[in-house]
């Protein structure tokens, strides 16, 4: 009896130590974050172990483990849900059941997942889309796209752009009863990156006559030039999205060659001939004072030109929307950007807010203290539920 109790006690202490994660005082429901992080750590370790054994890429394993989150397209008393394709790109469409009094609003949504995993069928995205469709009496198109490491940039961008252009065709909008003057785009994390990139691209496409009314970006990834922003320094080991994982996502977006990841981690991946573009992502001039917090700006060290020659995508504005010049930015629609305190991507969003405002774009910025990357996906948490409601309320008022 004594031995069993002792062994159980030791096992319990080990499990508690594995789960426990020191968190800031202003984080709500810390035990839920700890449990989430423990699950995430376990799948990450298993994925890395499989990679070390040479079984497959760790991102493929993570995608395998995350598939349990998927739910089928199930209609309810409020919303009709079905899967279809837009020009061969899989999409899930949400249409309110109630009879419309006029043409409906339309929202094109792009899921996150570091360009490597994720799906519009995940329960969290499915629930968010249902809520949005019902509350706004709007048609929601939630798109999928091909993922790394099997597919690299610009495939993800092209898939999303293809589906968006299909949705914006006048005949398609008419078929779904959508008002062409009230169509918006949104996405979170890597989906926010793709939303920002395709919104910029639309400005240069003469074939698209319908303009987006709003873009709503939820903690978007907007640049890979500088991996030494204050938000990366402060949150490098915060649960859910660490600096090392974000760098891995970025590098996998372009190649499975780990030399790019290594160069990004040391912030020495940008070639000398592209150094001039750092002014577009210079946090010392673009971040509000309260977010600099005494950090010292370090002039980035340029890297080898060989990586840029092999994988030019990481220098492309379609991958890093913050690299767009002011002439392009000034024509963007009303923009809503959500940033979170404990998120390596916080400063990407903050810098985009500054650059858009400097270019004359109307921007609404919501910075959420105590929130972390992925908050909107965790609707079972109080802060996730509040932030999702805030997001939907803004769309209701502005779309």
Residues annotated as catalytic are 189, 343, 373
Q: How many CB atoms lie within 10 A of CB 395?
A: 20
Closest listed residue to residue 396, CA positions, set 201, 186, 240, 143? 186
Closest listed residue to residue 87, CA positions, set 166, 154, 156, 140? 166
Cα 201 from Cα 206, distance rounded (Å): 10
Taken in order 311, 312, 313, 315, the sign of the CA dihedral is: positive
Cα 109 from Cα 164, distance rounded (Å): 9
> If you compute the radius of gyration of the chain from its CA atoms, what whole number of angstroms results?
21
Contacts 24+ apart (CB under 8 A), 264-270: 264/224, 264/227, 265/227, 267/226, 267/227, 267/228, 267/300, 267/301, 268/300, 268/301, 268/302, 268/303, 269/224, 269/303, 269/307, 269/314, 270/225, 270/300, 270/302, 270/303, 270/308, 270/315
Which residues sit opposite 186 in a β-bridge?
A: 109, 216
Q: How many CB atoms lie within 10 A of CB 48?
A: 13
b or e along 12-38 (b: 16 or more beta carbons within 10 Å of the residue's beta carbon)? eeeeeeeeebebeeebeeeebbbebbb
Residue 342's Cβ-side half-sphere holds a number of Cα atoms within 13 Å equal to: 19
- Helix residue ranges, H only, 277-345: 283-286, 289-292, 305-310, 326-329
DSSP codes of every residue in 128-190? HHHHHHHHHTEEEEEE----TTTS-TTHHHHHHHHHHHHHTSHHHHHHTTEEEEEEEEEEETH
Cα 390 from Cα 377, distance rounded (Å): 14
């Amino acid at each position: 009896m004594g031995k069993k109790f002792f062994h159980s006690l030791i096992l319990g202490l080990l499990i508690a130590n594995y789960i426990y994660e020191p968190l800031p005082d202003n984080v709500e429901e810390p035990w839920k974050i700890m449990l989430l992080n423990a699950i995430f750590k376990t799948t990450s370790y298993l994925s890395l172990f499989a990679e070390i054994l040479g079984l497959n890429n760790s991102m493929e394993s993570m995608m395998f483990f995350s598939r349990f989150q998927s739910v089928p397209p199930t209609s309810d008393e409020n919303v009709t849900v079905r899967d279809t394709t837009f020009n061969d790109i899989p999409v899930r469409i949400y249409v309110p059941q109630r009879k419309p009094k006029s043409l409906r609003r339309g929202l094109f949504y792009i899921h996150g997942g570091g360009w490597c995993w994720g799906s519009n069928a995940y329960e969290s995205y499915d629930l968010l889309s249902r809520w949005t469709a019902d509350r706004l009496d709007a048609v929601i198109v939630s798109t999928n796209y091909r993922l790394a490491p099997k597919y690299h940039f610009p495939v993800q961008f092209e898939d999303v752009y293809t589906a968006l252009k299909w949705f914006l065709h006048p005949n398609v909008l008419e078929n779904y009863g959508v008002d062409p003057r009230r169509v918006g785009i949104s996405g979170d994390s890597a989906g926010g990156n793709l939303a920002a990139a395709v919104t910029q691209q639309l400005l240069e496409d003469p074939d698209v006559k319908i303009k987006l009314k709003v873009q709503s970006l939820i903690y978007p990834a907007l640049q890979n030039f500088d991996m030494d922003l204050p938000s990366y320094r402060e949150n490098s080991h915060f649960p859910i999205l660490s600096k090392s994982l974000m760098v891995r996502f970025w590098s996998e977006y372009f190649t499975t060659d780990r030399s790019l990841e290594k160069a990004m981690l040391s912030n020495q991946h940008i070639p000398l001939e592209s150094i001039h573009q750092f002014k577009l992502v210079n946090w010392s001039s673009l971040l509000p004072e309260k977010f600099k917090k005494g950090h010292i700006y370090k002039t980035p060290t340029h890297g080898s030109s060989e990586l840029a020659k092999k994988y030019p995508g990481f220098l492309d504005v379609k991958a890093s929307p913050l690299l767009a010049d002011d002439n392009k930015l000034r024509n963007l629609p009303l923009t809503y950007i959500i940033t979170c305190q404990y998120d390596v991507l916080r400063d990407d969003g903050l810098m985009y807010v500054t650059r858009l405002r400097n270019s004359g774009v109307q921007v609404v910025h919501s910075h959420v203290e105590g929130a972390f990357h992925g908050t909107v996906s965790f609707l079972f948490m109080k802060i996730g539920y509040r932030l999702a409601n805030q997001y939907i309320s803004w769309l209701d008022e502005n779309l």
